[in-house]
Amino acid sequence: MRLGYLTHVTGGDPARAYRETVELAVCAEELGYDSFWVAQHHDGHLGGRLPSPLVLLAAVAERTRLIRLGTAAVVLPLEEPRRLAEDTTVLDALSGGRLELGIGAGADAAASLRFGRRHDDRRTDTVAALDVLLELLPTELAEQRMWWATSSSVDAAADRGLGVISGRPAEPGSGVVPDLARYWTYARGIARVALSRPLPAGHSPGRIIDDLLADPALPWAGELIVQAQPSSVSADVHRETMQRFARYVRPFLGVAGPAHPAPVPQAPEPDDEIVPLLRPRPVVRPAR
């Protein structure tokens, strides 16, 4: 399973937040993360300071060599798709083909109003803009490295060959697992699912391991994108979270795929003194 890290780029001073985000991306690459994702927020919504993720990722591209660079997500109804295609293509060239372009319909009604858009039309507007964007982007990027961060549009993503970033908890009755199963069934090309999961402050590695391995959506995913919670934590907390997850949790994540996972013994609930004594345990899944 591939592993990514997401930040909402928060803080009182935007310039400092951008510099610290670049350093976090460098740290993520050094720790072996496969991808580094930034969220787009307009006008400081939810404390986010980044309205222009492609600009910041261009700076990240100059400081990194291998890690993939993701947007989770560009609010597509508020973008001019032709202009977005141009900026995306430039960044992808600068980064050596490392861009993972995540798009979404957006949840900030105030931003829709400020951009002169009807928030209630955001899903229809997303599909319309997406179809234009897909025609303009390089084929390899459009078909293999585009994602839809969605809780309700898996059918549109499947029909257009996009990967799906799912951030909804897969609780009983939530519809997450049936949606992912339907996506896998009807996806054009290679089905790609990334789960976005929070790492709540105060949760031990043992509890995080158990929560992840018990997540019924995990077997359907090929990538796990984690983020520190609350999203407003300092850069030092982000760095510590990345380090602890990479060292203590990642070894417990098996190879995912659309299968019914076999029961896995519960991991102990470690404290800081016994965490280094943990050893990875296999995750056994039957063949598809």
Residue 282 lies in a domain: no
**Predicted pLDDT of residue 254:** 64
Contacts of 278 (CB under 8 A, 6+ apart): 205, 206, 248, 267, 268, 270
**Predicted pLDDT of residue 259:** 43
What burial letters (b/e) apply to 249-284, b meaning 16+ CB within 10 Å?
A: bbebbbebbbeebeebeebeebeeeebeebeeeebe
Residue 286 lies in a domain: no
What are the phi and psi torsion angles at 187 (to 5°)?
-60, 135
Residue 230 belongs to what domain range? 2-277
**Predicted pLDDT of residue 212:** 95
d(CA 218, CA 225): 11
| Domain total of the chain | 1
Q: Indicate which CATH number applies to the domain containing 202.
A: 3.20.20.30
Report cis status (omega within 30 of 0) of the bond before 230: yes
Residue 284 lies in a domain: no
The model's pTM: 0.88
Residue 288 lies in a domain: no
First to last CA, the chain: 16
Residue 196 lies in a domain: yes
Tokens encoding 187: 């996806």
Instruction: Pick the closest to residue 108 from 73, 70, 84 (CA basis).
Output: 73
d(CA 288, CA 283): 15
What are the phi and psi torsion angles at 279 (to 5°)?
-125, 145
Residue 254 lies in a domain: yes
d(CA 78, CA 215): 33
Residue 215 lies in a domain: yes
| Ordered mean pLDDT values, 10 residues apiece, the chain (288 residues) | 97 96 98 97 89 98 98 97 98 98 95 94 96 97 96 90 95 92 95 96 93 95 96 96 95 58 38 35 39
**Predicted pLDDT of residue 282:** 39
